[in-house]
Amino acid sequence: MSLVLRRWETLLAVLLALFVALGTALSPYFLDTQNFSDLADDLMEKAIMALPLALVIIAGEIDLSVESMLGLSSALLGLSFGLGLPLWAGIPLVLLVGALGGLLNGLLVTWARLPSLVVTLGTLALYRGLAYVVLGPRAVSHWPAAFNAFGFGDVPGTLVPWPLLVFALLAIVFAFVLHRTWIGRQLYATGKSQEAARFAGVRVARLKTALFVLSGTLSALAGVILTARLASARADNGQGFVLDVVTAVLLGGVNIFGGEGTIAGVVLAVFVIGVLRNALTLADVAPDAQSTAIGALLIVSVAGPNVVGRIRAAWRNREVLT
């Protein structure tokens, strides 16, 4: 099993190199260090949401509401800050709301036994709607300089943007938990065979609920970071992000049906998407049009191996018949 995944990650690395080459061909500015800094900036909120989503999908569920929780947390942060609540209180509050939103998802899936696709489709709408109810059409600006520095500044003395550092640390923790600990093992078991996991004493409901809470919390964190980076809290922040996040997870080799996937793959996929978008931006392709490429990438990343597998199987059958 691990051998196959290693091959997928190699493929991703190749793809990454390809897109880097594409970028360089499209623009002389591509290899500028400043450009790389910008690239990471644009991507890190999605990357941070991709990590818990990977775990959710490996466990056999899905969470489409991540982008809306991002928006809701941004709106709440803006509202609370606008009302005078200092950030050291506002941010934890917003993270708590994220956790609660994730808890709602989790309970609806585990306790009410509703399919996560529909639940998170519903909360995708619900949380976004609530974001609008909270903040309306306005934008909250005038954030403290330190906050903005966290959002679009670099770690002092390096070229590493703070969000990238946050992502890197989270990725390491996630990789450790998923690949080395008993929690990860239970996760894979749940995704592959929920019944067998339950019979073996895995607390499936608790595990899945925890994953949704994690997803909600980190989506809220992504919302905080995005707000800081854009220096603007808006209800529509993060609109459309879910495509890139899901693509990053699936392109990263996580099986949509659960039970398979690695953090390394997801990290690579995140950068593949980032580089692709960056290259296209430099080629003057509008962000909304870039989505065509990302959508195509998503489809090809899942269809490709299937079609190749079918061709191989057909070829093998031909050999048997002759």
Partner 1 sequence: MSDTPLLELRSISKRFAGVRALREVDLDLAEGEVHALVGENGAGKSTLVKILAGVHQPDEGEIRLRGEPLVLTGAAAARDRGIAVMHQHPNLFPDLDVAENVFAGRLPVARFGRVDWRRARSAAAALFARLGQPLDVTAPVRGLSVADQQLVEVAKALSLDARVLVMDEPTAALSGREVDRLFATVRQLREHGVAVLFVNHRLEEVFALADRVTVLRDGRHVVTAPIARLTPAETIRHMVGRQLDSLYPKQPAKAGEPALEVAGLTRAGVFRDVSFTVRRGEIVALAGLVGAGRTEVARALFGIDRTDAGEVRVGGRPVHIASPGDAMRAGLAYVPEDRHDQGLVLDFSIAANVSLPVLARLSRLLGVVDRGAERILAGDFAERLQIRATGVDQPAVGLSGGNQQKVVLAKWLATRPAVLILDEPTRGIDIGAKAEVHRIMSGLAAGGMAILLISSELPEVLGMADRVIVLHEGLVAASLTREEATQEGIMTAATGQASA
Partner 2 sequence: MTSASRALAVAARLRELGIVVALALVVLVTTLLAPAFLHLDNLSQILLSVSLVAIVAAGETIVVLTRNVDLSVGSMVGLVAFVTGDLLKQHAVGLPEAILAGCLLGLALGGLNGLIVTVGRVPAIVATLGTLNVYRGLDFFVAGGKEVSAYDLPRSYLGIATSTAAGIPALIIAAAVIAAVVAFVLRSTRPGRALYAIGSNPPAAETVGIPSQRLVFAAFAASGLLCGAAGVLWGSRFGTVNAFAANGLELEVIAAVVVGGVNIFGGSGTVFGAMLGAVLLGTIDNALTLLRLSQFWLQAIDGAVILLAVGADASIRGAVQRALRVRGRR
Sites of contact with partner 1 (CB under 8 A)? 1, 176-177, 180-183, 185-186, 188-189, 192-193, 195-203, 259
Residue closer to partner 1 (CB basis): 163 or 184: 184
At 242, the amino acid letter reads V
Residue closer to partner 1 (CB basis): 6 or 138: 6
Q: Which does 185 bind (CB under 5 to 8 A by kind): partner 2, partner 1, none?
A: partner 1
Residue entry with tokens 């506002």: 90
Q: Count CB neighbours of 66 within 10 A.
A: 36
Q: Minimum distance between the CB of residue 32 and partner 1, rounded to whole angstroms?
A: 40
C-alpha span between 2 and 225 (Å, rounded): 34
Q: Minimum distance between the CB of residue 319 and partner 1, rounded to whole angstroms?
A: 13
Residue closer to partner 2 (CB basis): 80 or 123: 123
Spatial neighbors of 134 by CB under 8 A, at least 6 apart, are 72, 75, 76, 79, 235
Give the three-class secondary structure for 262.
coil
In angstroms, the first-to-last Cα distance of the chain is: 32
Residues comprising the chain, all counted: 322
Query: Does residue 313 belong to the site contacting partner 2 (CB under 8 A)?
Result: no
Please calculate the CA angle 84-85-90 and round it to the nearest 5 degrees: 145
Q: Which residues between 91 and 150 bind partner 2 (CB under 8 A)?
A: 108, 112-115, 117-119, 121-130, 132-133, 136
Residue entry with tokens 């809701």: 72
Query: Does residue 69 belong to the site contacting partner 2 (CB under 8 A)?
Result: no
Please calculate the CA angle 53-178-214 and round it to the nearest 5 degrees: 40
Q: Which residues between 248 and 307 bind partner 2 (CB under 8 A)?
A: 250, 256-257, 286, 288-296, 298-299, 302-303, 306-307
Half-sphere exposure of 33 (CA within 13 A, CB side): 5
Size of the site for partner 2 (CB under 8 A): 47
Q: Which does 256 bind (CB under 5 to 8 A by kind): partner 2, partner 1, none?
A: partner 2
C-alpha span between 246 and 269 (Å, rounded): 10
Q: Which does 128 bind (CB under 5 to 8 A by kind): partner 2, partner 1, none?
A: partner 2
Query: Does residue 314 belong to the site contacting partner 2 (CB under 8 A)?
Result: no
Which spans of this chain sit near partner 2 (rule: CB under 8 A)? 62, 108, 112-115, 117-119, 121-130, 132-133, 136, 235, 242-243, 246-247, 250, 256-257, 286, 288-296, 298-299, 302-303, 306-307, 310
